Structure 1
Amino acid sequence: MKKIGILAFGDKYGGGVYQYTQSIIDALKEDKTNKYIIFCSSNDDRFDSYGLEVRKIDKPRSSLFVKIVRAFQLFLFIQRPWFFTKEELDKFSDIDIFLSPAISPYPHFYMNKIFVFTLHDMQERYYPKFFSKYERLIRWLNNRALARSAAKIICESNFVKNDIVKFLRINEDKISVIQSPPPENFLNYKFEAEQFKKIKKKYGLPEKFIFYPAQCWFHKNHIKLVEAFKIVSEKYDDVYLILTGSQQNNYNNLIARIDELGLQTKIKHLGYIDYEDLPYLYKMSQFLVMPTLFESVSIPIYEAFTLEVAVCSSNVTALPEQVGNAGLIFDPNSINDIAEKMMAYLSNEELRKIKARLGFERVRGFNHEEYKKKLIGVLQSV
């Protein structure tokens, strides 16, 4: 029996990796062929009831000197645990294989341990303008060092697999494409009638709204969405746009554009909302809109499919592969195309029902048991 260390250091405000990590642990928690140890920060209690060993540790802050040395370690493939405290070494040393859902070298790369990691996307190769020079350097160092040092690489689409082969020159046999289902609580979700009223009051939700849950990163394309919604709102005055997600680097630009378009009363940005409330917002919405410019796989699309909510999505990267015929797709750079597809849904309730059903059929057999088998297969191959 191997000891598998699952690294769950992701921040809930940091995007989809947080949910992705939870899906992995949901899938593996019942496996008895390995012993799983979860590593997370000291203030994270979400895995305390999972029946797995949880080791809590807060990553020490690194000085500038340490950051520079570790950057050179990545560049030169020097896998040594320099600067690790005794507590870190004690907590990590007995692990046979690390499973890292995030693109991070800590602690597995530096400790020269066997590891499997997920490379979610190589967006910086397509949209360098969305990243500072420092961010592009860090992504290059991490992707290069981890891809070459890992025993196996997991990604969620053939699009990303092709990028890994193309940009990092990794043999495709080292890469496994495994799509992640939504976290377990979304599958077979049981809604409570009274809760709809409470959630609606809690967030001041209107009767009819389009829903977009996403962090305010540049590539999430909020600006084009609100410009398209301006066209929609001129024809459908009773429809609103509800946005959720943490206020990242494009938030101020988004609010300014909403003000310029005079949509302050038609668009609400709720910020980060309680995760247990999220299914109700999906279900109360007319449909999910996903105007992103870049995505390996969109977790909100799978969440919407699981809850039988219609999806309206951009046609970029791996999204057509993910959506298939179960949604309407558009060019995310065309305001008119985004607006046209949204209005196609608003004008045709039957179309929304048909697409919602197709989406549900698409994920009906997409469960954690099957996901577990694929993950264990990768770990056994190591």
Structure 2
Amino acid sequence: MGIKKLNIAFFVGSELQTGGRFQYEYKVLDILKKYHKDQNIKFNFYGLIEKIQKDYIDLGLDIKIIKENIFQKLHRYSLSNFFFLKIFSKIKMDLSSIEKKLSKDKIDLVYFLGPNIVSHSLKNIPYIFTLWDLGHLDILEFPEISHDGQFETREFTIVKGLRKSYKVIVDSKWGKANVINKYNIDEKRIEVLKFLPNIRINKSETTVMIKEKYKLKNDYIFYPANFWAHKNHMYILRTIKILRDEKNIDIDVIFSGSREGNLEYILDKAKELKIDDLIHYIGFVPNEEIPNLYKQSLSLVMPTYLGPTNIPPLEAFAYETPVCYSDLPYFREQVGDSAFFMDLSDPYSLVKILLTIQNDKQIVDEKKKKGIQVLKNWNEEDFYKKLLDIFNEYKYVRELWK
């Protein structure tokens, strides 16, 4: 009785160089591959960029690339406008080439793993919309968030995407409350699925001696983040300057991630502060090197302004590395008291924390234990079971019509 299978399409949209967005989508797909056994729910995977297939190749998923020519793209964009939608409906051109492909594949439900404007053009297929943050409203003073049409693009994508979504996936209770407050979305349609660390197990993993490879003379702190202004690399520079000038202590810094236009500014500032010998930018690093970067560091230091959650602190917990995190309410919700919290208006607070990490093993060990507990409180199986509940809820409703 009812439909034989529920066909779900997962839209994969983030390339490797997007950093945290890629890590999130990769982790969700990894969990689905690892735990899904329900024969009555079939997963299908789609993308619009051919490079996606290469970036996710080690998952072994069949990601179908839907190609659009310029006219098909313009047609799809125009369907977001009610006026054009009515016109195209009259001449039976109200389905985008993407929706036609999905309909041909008998897709019942689309799952967007991130904010995606494709959702606007879906006329007859319901969808799930993932929303990582509302940075364009929460920290709109940063150029990468609101300049050059970024604010308008984010707002346009989110507003309509949220309104018609069957479910909205957010990463925290704080994020859920923020969406309700900013967009007046029915709370019953918003589901909280917390981030998980993207730890890849490599059985042939070899130890990379980080200090030797990058010629470091001192303990180092690690910050994996693209060079957006809101990532606040400057806060770390100010801290390192204070340590050198006032404490006569040198600590090296390893930055990784994409340049994003702000790298040269940060490196120039390091020279201006006369600490450039302590600052090491290593770009994107191989996956097999990441565990070593965490484990051998004095601490992960993440002074970002953007929340409500981030993945690197969870990765640090998994590698039993101390975490220094921005003292903002949503980050306290994410990690509790398992991190050392920094006052972003005062680099001396990080100075004090780093000295504590260097000299008080007992406090550090207590933080590490609490970090491990954070990971135990929400794991891959929890994530999958919650997703499966959402899918089964829709499957039950979908059986009410042909």
- Give TM-score, length-normalised by structure 2: 0.84
**Higher percent of residues as helix:** 2
Query: Is residue 295–residue 317 contact of structure 1 (8 Å, CA) maintained in 2?
Result: no
Aligned-partner Cα distance in 1 for 2:353–2:84: 46
Show CA shifts across 1:183-222 (max 9, x none): 2526xx7684x4223x555544555200111111121111
> Aligned ranges for residues 211-230 of structure 1 at < 5 Å?
211-230=222-241
Q: Which residue of 1 aligns with 2:153?
A: 138
Distance 1:82 1:259 in 2: 57
Name the counterpart of 1:322: 334
1:265 positional shift: 0.5
> Aligned pair in 2 of structure 1 residues 57, 288: CA closer, same or farther (>3 Å)?
same
CA 74–311 in structure 1, closer or farther in 2 if over 3 Å, else same? farther
Matches of 1:96 and 1:125, distance apart in 2: 33
Gaps of 5+ in 2: 395-402
Q: Distance in 2 between matches of 1:313 and 1:255?
A: 22
Distance 1:35 1:79 in 2: 32
Say if 1:211 and 1:289, in contact at 8 Å, map to a contact too: yes
Tell me by how many angstroms 1:73 deviates.
5.6
Tell me which residue corresponds to 1:299. Answer: 311
| Structure 2 counterpart of 1:171, one-letter code | D
Residue 176 in structure 1 maps to residue 167 in structure 2: no
Does 1:128 pair with 2:140? Answer: yes
Pairing partner for 2:46 from 20, 36, 39: 39
- Give the match for residue 173 of structure 2: 158
Counterpart of 2:24 in structure 1 is 20
Which of 336, 359, 372 lines up with 1:347 in the alignment? 359
| Contact 1:305/1:356 (8 A) holds in 2 | yes
Contact 1:36 1:52 (8 Å CA) reproduced: no
Letter paired with 1:162? A
Q: Whole-Å Cα distance in 2 between the matches of residues 242 and 74 of structure 1?
A: 52
- Distance across 1 between alignment mates of 2:168 and 2:101: 26
Deviation at 1:259, TM superposition (A): 1.5
Letter matched to residue 372 of structure 1: Y
Does the Cα contact within 8 Å between 1:287 and 1:352 map onto a contact in 2? no
Task: Determine the C-alpha separation between the residues in 2 that align with 1:245 and 1:75.
Answer: 41
Of all paired residues, the percent bearing the same amino acid is: 26
**What is the deviation of 1:60?**
5.1
Cα distance in 1 for partners of 2:70, 2:158 equals 22
Q: Indicate the larger mover: 20-29 or 37-46.
A: 37-46
Where in structure 1 are there 5+ consecutive unaligned residues?
Answer: none
Aligned to 2:270: 258
Q: Distance in 2 between matches of 1:55 and 1:306?
A: 33
After the TM superposition, which of the residue ranges 296-305 and 54-63 deviates more from structure 2?
A: 54-63
Larger radius of gyration: 2
Q: Secondary structure at the match of 1:196?
A: coil
Deviation larger for 369-378 or 273-282: 273-282
* Structure-2 change in CA distance of 1:2 and 1:336 (3 Å): same
Give me the whole-angstrom Cα distance separating, in 2, the residues matched to 1:319 and 1:325: 10
Displacement of 1:70 in angstroms is 5.8
Counterpart secondary structure, 2:44: strand
Task: String of CA shifts for 1:60-84, please: whole Å, max 9, x gaps.
Answer: 5689966973664699999988694
**Alpha-carbon offset, residue 356 of structure 1:** 1.6
Secondary structure in 2 matching 1:173 = helix
Residue identity matched to 2:327: N
Retained in 2: the 8 A contact 1:282–1:307? Answer: yes
Cα RMSD for the two superposed structures: 3.0
| Structure 2 residue 222 is the aligned partner of structure 1 residue 231 | no
Q: Hey, what's the Cα distance between the residues in 2 that align with 1:93 and 1:374?
A: 29
* CA displacement, residues 22-46 of structure 1 (integer Å, 9 cap, x when unaligned): 1111111131322111223323235
Letter in 2 for 1:299: I
Provide the secondary structure at the position in 1 that maps to 2:265: helix
1:21–1:101 contact (8 Å) kept in structure 2: yes
TM, length-normalised to structure 1: 0.88
